[in-house]
Amino acid sequence: MAANGFELALDECLDLVLKDEQSVEGCLRRYPEYAEEMAPLLQMAHEVRSTLDYTPSTAGKTRARLLMQAAIARQQARKERRWQWPGWLRVTGPPRWAVGMATMVLVMVLGGTGVVAASSDSMPDQPLYPVKRAVEEARLVLSFSSNGKAQLHARFADRRVVEIAVLSKRGNIKRVPGLTGDLDRHLRRIQHAAFPDAVPAIPLRLLEGMTGQELQTPVPIVPGIAPPPSNEPQRLRQGQARPQPLSPRVQFVMQALRNRLTLGFAQQEQALRLSISEARDIDKRTLRYTLRVLQEHRNTIMVAFTEEQAPR
Amino acid sequence: MSGTDQERQGVAALTDLFEEYYERITRYIAVRVGNQADAEELASDVFVRAVENIGSFQWRGVPLQAWLYRIAHNVAVDHLRRSSRRKSSPLDEATAVAGPHDPEREVFLGMEREELLKAMEGLSDAQRETITLRFFGGLTSAETGAVMNRNSGAVREMQSSALKRLRTIMETEHSTLELEGR
């Protein structure tokens, strides 16, 4: 028992001495009954720490942070390339464009029956909801411009927030985490379409005057880390190092997207805050997480707009 | 919560932990491998590996911090195995203590570091791991226990015995040097 008491006292003193919160002498005064036995051990600990300790370089930390961010971007890009249908429709096999076309055929057939129109307001706990999501996916597959995809994802993000708010009001919170994941995916894809500096895609501002081959050229995953060597034209590489001023057309598109998103984020945040205030205590945490996801994406996207449109 | 949600949550938590734990993990690895430049490179490997393997992390098991230190331990052990315990200058004999350039002082500090690292080789693996995690990893006994799969009582016992052993080794070394007239 005495040994246990000594080890506890030594442990406490080590914590204090190692954190420079107390001197060896000060700690020994706290435990006079162990002072004789403890003194040489604390001095040994102090010597070990002070002799072998060092301060890691800032450059090393910056490099580590960049490598970690690159790993996160790679992981995210891998996930984005995977099949992205919601869980209840997740299948493997046919290529995405084929499923999109098949869905469009289905949409045209069902369109006459009013099923598609009726599904557009359906909620996740209703039978027509799968049709609504299938139509959304088909529209995304058949949209070929970055701006078109970004606009669609912004609209679908609005829908996910409305669905979360409605389900929350009905007390059906169990579907909210899945919908939050879908919201996160829409917001990430807006970023990918407009500002893919951190993911392997092409930013809107580089679309001007690029050939089809150039469009397939990878851009750096993380600013500051060189992309793999390629035969891409010197003009494009120079463009990445020193961005050219945006053309009026791209500026207009960017500004329209920015306005659309600013309004959308404000409404989404307001809806979520209202849901949180009305939710049961047990559900508030889930909804707060959704709000956090939204806010983080909003901040990232808005900062990207500011940097993109800053005068050069 | 789905696996994807957990992964996303894990990556967000790792990003937060990076700012708080990068220095501690680098110090821990530096003492394990005895080289600062290698330690900084290996510490970045730790966080990259953590991101890549966050899907395998069990949220109800050990804390995420403890998991990071386990990865750091494995990274250090792999490095030592790969380099076949090649001898390198302890902590690069430089930049360990910031201050004015003083070659004589640096040589003296380098000798002290080498002596201490050699003394630590006389500890058992568990004793060395305990001291390194506690003194350089900045972990408490309970946190050290979580990394080493031991209870905090066992860790306290281990650190006490490690310090006693280290002291004995250092005293013996000094006595030998005195007898040799160095």
CATH number of residue B65's parent domain: 1.10.1740.10
In the predicted model, what is the mean pLDDT of residues B7-20? 87
| B94 found inside a domain | no
| B138 found inside a domain | yes
Pair B16, B69 in one domain: yes
Distance of alpha carbon B71 from alpha carbon B74, whole angstroms: 5
In this predicted structure, what is the pLDDT of residue A32? 92
Sorting pLDDT into bands at 50, 70 and 90, what band is A105? low
For residue B63, pLDDT over 90 is answered with: no
| B76 found inside a domain | yes
Considering only the beta carbons, identify the residue of B51, B113, B134 that sits closest to A68: B51
Considering only the beta carbons, identify the residue of B44, B97, B112 that sits closest to A67: B44
In this predicted structure, what is the pLDDT of residue A228? 39
Pair B13, B66 in one domain: yes
In this predicted structure, what is the pLDDT of residue A82? 56
Length of chain B: 182
Residue that finishes a domain, picked among B34, B63, B88: B88
In this predicted structure, what is the pLDDT of residue A238? 37
**Residue A257: CA count within 13 A, CB half-sphere:** 30
Pair B4, B62 in one domain: yes
In this predicted structure, what is the pLDDT of residue B81? 85
| B14 found inside a domain | yes
- The pLDDT tens digits of the residues spanning A139-163 come to 887 777 777 888 889 899 999 999 9
What's the Cα-to-Cα distance from B29 to each of B24, B32, B45, B91, B165, rounded to whole Å?
9, 5, 11, 10, 22
Within 10 Å of residue A193's Cβ, how many Cβ atoms? 24
Range from A206-210, B109-113, B117-121 carrying the lowest mean pLDDT: A206-210
Q: Residue A287, Cα to own-chain centre: how many angstroms?
A: 17
Q: What is the domain range of residue B65? A: 1-88
CATH number where B140 lies = 1.10.10.10
Q: Residue A21, Cα to own-chain centre: how many angstroms?
A: 39
Pair B128, B73 in one domain: no
Give the closest-approach CA distance of A175 to chain B in angstroms.
Answer: 10
Higher pLDDT, B182 or B41: B41
Give the closest-approach CA distance of A87 to chain B in angstroms.
Answer: 10
Sorting pLDDT into bands at 50, 70 and 90, what band is A111? low
Pair B82, B5 in one domain: yes
Q: Are A262 and A306 in contact (CB under 8 A)?
A: no
Distance of alpha carbon B8 from alpha carbon B14, whole angstroms: 10
Contact B40 A64 (CB under 8 A): yes
Q: Is A57 on the interface with B (CB under 8 A)?
A: yes
| B153 found inside a domain | yes
Eight-state DSSP code of residue A149? H
Q: Where are the alpha helices (DSSP H) in chain A?
A: 2-18, 24-30, 35-52, 58-81, 96-111, 115-119, 129-141, 146-169, 176-194, 212-215, 234-241, 248-278, 281-309
Q: Is B18 on the interface with A (CB under 8 A)?
A: yes
Residue B129 tokens, joined: 């791991």
Apex B54 CA angle, A85 and B60, nearest 5: 105
Pair B137, B59 in one domain: no
Pair B82, B9 in one domain: yes
Does the ipTM surpass 0.85? Answer: no
In the predicted model, what is the mean pLDDT of residues B97-106? 52
In this predicted structure, what is the pLDDT of residue A59? 79
| Number of domains into which chain B is organized | 2
For residue A124, pLDDT over 50 is answered with: yes
Higher pLDDT, A4 or A307: A4
Range from A114-128, A175-189, A254-268, B88-102 carrying the lowest mean pLDDT: B88-102
| B167 found inside a domain | yes
- The pLDDT tens digits of the residues spanning A241-297 come to 445 566 777 777 788 888 888 888 888 888 899 889 888 887 888 888 888 888 888
Distance of alpha carbon B137 from alpha carbon B163, whole angstroms: 17
What's the Cα-to-Cα distance from A219 to each of A106, A206, A230, A236, A307, rounded to whole Å?
37, 10, 10, 10, 18
Pair B16, B71 in one domain: yes
Q: Are A284 and A276 in contact (CB under 8 A)?
A: yes
Element holding B136 (H helix, E strand): none
Pair B82, B126 in one domain: no
Q: Are A27 and A45 in contact (CB under 8 A)?
A: no
In the predicted model, what is the mean pLDDT of residues A165-183? 86
